[in-house]
Amino acid sequence: MYLNFLKRLRTSAAIFPLNDSNLHILKTFDKIGRKPAATAMERSLLSRFFVLSNTSPLFTSSMTSGVNLSKYLKSTGQFRQRNFRCLCTVSASEPATPDTSPISVKKRIVSGVQPTGSIHLGNYLGAIKNWIALQNTYETLFFIVDLHAITLPYDTQQLSKATRDTAALYLACGVDTSKASVFVQSHVRAHVELMWLLSSATPIGWLNRMIQFKEKSRKAGDENVGVALLTYPVLMASDILLYQSDFVPVGEDQKQHLELTRELAERVNYLFGGRKWKKLGGRGGAIFKVPEPLIPPAGARVMSLTDGFSKMSKSAPSDQSRINLLDPKDVLANKIKRCKTDSFPGLITGKTKQEVAEECQDMNWGTFKNVLTDALVDHLHPIQVRYEEIMSDPAYVDNVLAEGASKASAIADITLNDVYQAMGFLRR
């Protein structure tokens, strides 16, 4: 260990601050190094000194004038015996007080919602409402996944408007741009580039087993199904892996897609990472971080108002099957009267299911639906008011999206360049 440490000193450009404590460690280190057999405690001390030399913030790369460490060790005879040359210095200009400030790196989360149709209660309770809490704890990137919106036939005249409307709803619901980056998926070109690179490493069998592809293609018919619907999960993987995400908030229906993302990350890391990447001039190791699912404890799957076996969906033909966040009070009340009742009050008011059950246990269905309507109106009204305020200034929304895309691109470009390098491309 002693021999390896001296080799590390020879090849490092570390600066070791000079103070009484550190000189004491050096002298003790010197004594242990001379002994033919050190005690367990001495070996432990030597080991700890070796670890600190690799991890301590006291070792910096700046070159300052100071006491030459090689002269100190040479005076002990160690360098003459080992025939080593130390190229590091001991700084005399650094303060003796160590930096004890904690270093906290937030975990990163990415998530998004399609701009097709209206944002409904299922999107809100299953995703957006949870974002508001997550943005206080994590580094968050929330985007409008407009590229996913074209996997099935869509209205080209409405896509741009729906994209801006969705961004405004993000903000109206409480997404704070000082804590989260909000942007449009297609505004960061790296999403599509990485998708193509990932496609080359994705076995077709992995895509054929996706349940959502089977369900949607059966409903739409073969003539209306493009290749994009099949490769949709690869784009989703690109969305996640591009930002080296630690966690991804997903509903139960998206867990399979996230599993494919995880498998694809591991496959690419195996095929192109590690020593293979290092030989090409890269840093080596894993190219992608393998993300973990973050499934909300409640509200992850809000069911249709007209079909208790299907989730609330934008693509459902009947608007009566969903509660849109911008539905007026009278429209909302009419939908609730006709719906198959679910436990919205607890999710909306913050009460537990037990509290809702106790409050409503003696109510008939008519009374209960009135309570449910009032709870929804009270919760959604401030969101609707804030939405109208935001939409009255389109330039503000566009600026938010431009700033968000700029921040996202800065992260995405690093990952994309790493992938190009690891896969052997000639870069300009």
pLDDT digits (tens, 9 = 90+) for 285-304: 999 999 999 877 655 567 88
Q: For strand 180-184 and strand 139-144, is the pairing parallel, antiparallel, or unpaired? A: parallel
From first to last of its 428 residues, the chain has per-residue pLDDT tens of 444 444 444 444 344 444 454 445 545 545 544 444 444 444 444 444 443 344 333 333 333 334 444 444 444 444 444 443 333 333 333 333 334 444 568 999 999 999 977 888 888 888 898 899 999 999 999 999 999 999 888 899 999 999 999 999 999 999 999 999 999 999 999 999 999 999 999 999 998 888 777 777 776 666 667 888 889 999 999 999 999 999 998 876 677 778 999 999 999 999 999 999 999 999 999 999 999 998 776 555 678 888 777 778 777 777 888 889 999 999 988 888 887 655 444 445 566 667 766 666 666 677 778 888 888 899 999 999 999 999 999 999 999 999 999 999 999 999 999 999 999 999 88
Give the tens place of pLDDT for each residue, 334-383. 888 887 655 444 445 566 667 766 666 666 677 778 888 888 899 999 99
Q: Which of 74, 216, 276, 369 is catalytic?
A: 216
Catalytic residue list contains 276: no
What pTM, to 2 d.p., does this model score? 0.69
Question: Which tokens hold the place of 112?
Answer: 């998004």
Catalytic residue list contains 311: yes
Catalytic residue list contains 216: yes
Please enumerate, as own/partner, the contacts of 206-213 that have beta carbons within 8 Å and a separation of 24 or more.
Answer: 206/233, 206/260, 206/263, 206/264, 207/231, 207/233, 207/234, 207/260, 210/256, 210/257, 210/260, 211/256, 212/253, 212/256, 212/257
First to last CA, the chain: 44
Domains of the chain (ranges, CATH numbers):
2-91 (no CATH), 108-300+399-422 (3.40.50.620), 319-391 (1.10.240.10)
